[in-house]
Structure 1
Amino acid sequence: MKKIVILDFDGTIADTKPVILNTFHRTFDAMHLPQHSDEEIAATIGLPLMEAFPVLEPMDKEKAAECTATYREIFEDVNREIGVPMFPHVADTLHQLHAKGCTLTIATSRGYKSAADFLRSFKLDDIITLIVAAEDVRHAKPDPEPVLKTLKHYHLQPEDAVVVGDTHFDILMGRNARCMTVGVTYGNGSRQSLIEAGADAIVDDFAEITEMV
């Protein structure tokens, strides 16, 4: 049995895509930048905002920081308007894994406060014991740093862990850390992108993860 499950948040635990897309579009308007398609924006989900904005629109770090700050302000309003649900079977499955003795953690490109607020609202903060967020690492996904930092915190080895995520960024992060990886197909990435990234397993339903841990 694996000792620790390292989870992505956006597109794996929670269906944040509608809120993210809406927030990006409003941010482009607020910053007087050209609009981009939902598909172009969705392809950046999983990257820190400071990296996502320059991918979509050429800009320097100062402009990216301004866009990031504006995005975070707008995100709170959009989240209140639209709301973010968990994907089916996530809560029950996480509680089952916790009951089996698995340590549950988050490795996300989202900011710490935002991730922690969501976990509290989902009543998962009592079973998810660590969040490694965007500001906690120097090198974000697909670099292995978020996973390696998590393993170091718990004095565990790569073979003790499974990394679960919905995009190739998550799978590559886990593979670069030499961990088992599981891709979920219901999030922001495609099945093909998960296959090409080299996921060890791919599931259509989060509940299937209990069979792999």
Structure 2
Amino acid sequence: MIKLVLFDIDGTLIDTDAALIRAFQNVFSCFAMRPPTEQEVLQGVGHCDEEWIKLAWTGSCPIPTQKVAEMSEYFKQKYLGFYFPVLARLGEGAKETLEKLRKQGIKTAIVTNGRKEYAESVLSYFKLEGLFDLVVSADDVAHVKPSPEPLLHALDHFKLKPWDALYLGDTELDARAAKAAKVHFALMVRARNSLVKSKRRLGSLKEIPVLVQKL
């Protein structure tokens, strides 16, 4: 039986696609660069801000490192200060699902490639702090997803085995990390991730309590 359910944030627990698209387009515009298309932005979901900016840029010359750092800092300010509060939405049934899992005695944790400050800000904004036992961020590990390290870090924290855990994600990075860590994986279906391979595909967080009983 599953004893631990691990959640990614962006695109899994929270629907942030619209906020991310607008924020990244604003960043590029403000730095006098061609704004990326929606598809160009969404191909970077799961990556850290700096790598995301590089992936979204289609210009002939790479963006200088210092400029990437400046753009990343500006992105954080605009995203959390405006676009996230306006456009981000909590996944359907998120609180209900988390409460059910905890009533079943199942531990819950966040595993994200984002920074600890971002993860805590998101949980605080949606008043989810008390529904998670652990947050594993880029600040807690040497290597982020697709490395299995973040998931193994969570397993070690709870003294559990890989088969005791289910990881919910929405990207190829998530699927690869879960496979490498040998934990169960379920893909949160989005229009942008149809090519990600997963034998378990969920359309809603509400499906999780039933799924954990089958594993």
CA RMSD after TM alignment: 1.7
Structure 2-normalised TM-score? 0.89
For residue 210 of structure 2, what is the amino acid of its counterpart? E
For residue 200 of structure 2, what is the amino acid of its counterpart? A
Q: Deviations over 1:45-76 (max 9, x none)?
A: 11111211122233344332222111101113
Paired position in structure 1 for 2:18: 18
Any conservation in 1 of the 2:43–2:56 contact (CA below 8 Å)? no
Relative to structure 1, is the Cα distance of residues 102 and 202 closer, same or farther in structure 2, using a 3 angstrom cutoff?
same
Q: Aligned partners of 1:189 and 1:136: how far apart in 2?
A: 29
Any conservation in 2 of the 1:11–1:188 contact (CA below 8 Å)? no
State the shift of 1:33 in Å: 2.3
Identity %: 26
Paired position in structure 2 for 1:212: 211
Aligned to 1:105, which of 102, 106, 109?
A: 109
Q: Aligned partners of 1:154 and 1:170: how far apart in 2?
A: 20
Question: How many positions carry a matched residue from both structures?
Answer: 208
Paired position in structure 1 for 2:157: 153
For residue 14 of structure 2, what is the amino acid of its counterpart? A
Any conservation in 2 of the 1:93–1:210 contact (CA below 8 Å)? yes
| 1:1-213 to 2 correspondences below 5 Å | 1-57=1-57, 58-79=62-83, 82-185=86-189, 187=190, 189-190=192-193, 192-195=194-197, 199-213=198-212
SS of residue paired to 2:178? helix
Q: Unaligned stretches of 5+ in structure 2? A: none
Relative to structure 1, is the Cα distance of residues 48 and 135 closer, same or farther in structure 2, using a 3 angstrom cutoff?
same
For residue 20 of structure 1, what is the amino acid of its counterpart? L
Q: Aligned partners of 2:108 and 2:210: how far apart in 1?
A: 16
Any conservation in 1 of the 2:19–2:84 contact (CA below 8 Å)? no
State the shift of 1:103 in Å: 0.8
Q: Deviations over 1:138-197 (max 9, x none)?
A: 222211111111111222221111110111211111111111100011x4642x3232xx
Q: Aligned partners of 1:125 and 1:166: how far apart in 2?
A: 22
Any conservation in 2 of the 1:48–1:140 contact (CA below 8 Å)? no
Structure 1-normalised TM-score? 0.90
State the shift of 1:6 in Å: 0.9
State the shift of 1:34 in Å: 2.2
Moved more, 69-78 or 6-15: 69-78
State the shift of 1:129 in Å: 1.5
Any conservation in 2 of the 1:194–1:202 contact (CA below 8 Å)? no
Relative to structure 1, is the Cα distance of residues 80 and 56 closer, same or farther in structure 2, using a 3 angstrom cutoff?
closer
Q: Aligned partners of 1:48 and 1:175: how far apart in 2?
A: 21
Q: Aligned partners of 1:124 and 1:82: how far apart in 2?
A: 18
For residue 38 of structure 1, what is the amino acid of its counterpart? E
Q: Aligned partners of 2:51 and 2:10: how far apart in 1?
A: 16
For residue 140 of structure 1, what is the amino acid of its counterpart? V
Q: Aligned partners of 1:83 and 1:129: how far apart in 2?
A: 27
Relative to structure 1, is the Cα distance of residues 42 and 200 closer, same or farther in structure 2, using a 3 angstrom cutoff?
same
Any conservation in 2 of the 1:98–1:104 contact (CA below 8 Å)? yes
